[in-house]
Amino acid sequence: ASTPRRSRRRKSVAIAYDEGGQEDGAEPQRPRWEPRHWQEQLERIREMRRNRDAPVDEMGVDKCYDTSAPPQVMRYQVLLSLMLSSQTKDQVTSAAMLRLRQRGLTVDSVLQMDDATLGQIIYPVGFWRNKVKYIKQTTAILKQKYGGDIPSTVEELVQLPGVGPKMAHLAMNIAWDSVSGIAVDTHVHRITNRLKWVKKETKYPEETRVALEEWLPRDLWREINWLLVGFGQQTCLPVNPRCSQCLNQDICPAAKR
């Protein structure tokens, strides 16, 4: 999932965790805001994604790890593929993961690898030099603090070097089979703003996540990332979206008609 460079500035965005529901005895709930036509728009996006033939379907993070590895190794591989995927096309991430796995991809094998070798293997993922550094640092922390496994909370995951909120929520989902929040990447951020699924326009993916979680039913949180990423790769492109091929063109606020 390639992202515009400006996400370098992410550091200043506070991470908001799910505070859970209202206390009993609090003021009566206001009717919840929700976007116009969202259910219809969602249904039509599902229809457009029915063939599951976007890059994310064939080479996304949940296709990058070795499903026959022990659970702890599998979880480590999920986290690593997420770290590699930032600002990188799925095809490139998938190829880098394959090269790593051919050498037996475990916490110990990465710790034993020197930086130059790791760099050669993961090149040409985006910002590969930084990622070599982050991967080595994070892997060392996993070994020392978590017995070689990955943490099982968003709070701990985002403390790891090179791991942001989107990766943390995806890691919870794929590695731990737990829905902790909506994973918002560049595609989800762009598309939900175009569809006006946020009350007012958001600047950062993390803001978008908080805005979406306020109204989108929780049973859709897992699906929405996968749906919208593929839709963004094939139809709702960053530049020159293919509105004429989109089933939502009559009910999309951003459609070029």
Distance CA 190, CA 208 (A): 9
Contact 66, 105 (CB under 8 A): yes
CA dist 197 and 195 (Å) reads: 5
Torsion of CA 120, 138, 86, 127, to 10 degrees: -40
Q: Is 136 a catalytic residue?
A: no
| Residues 64/93, Cβ–Cβ less than 8 Å | yes
Catalytic member of 131, 166, 196, 200: 166
| Residues with catalytic function | 166
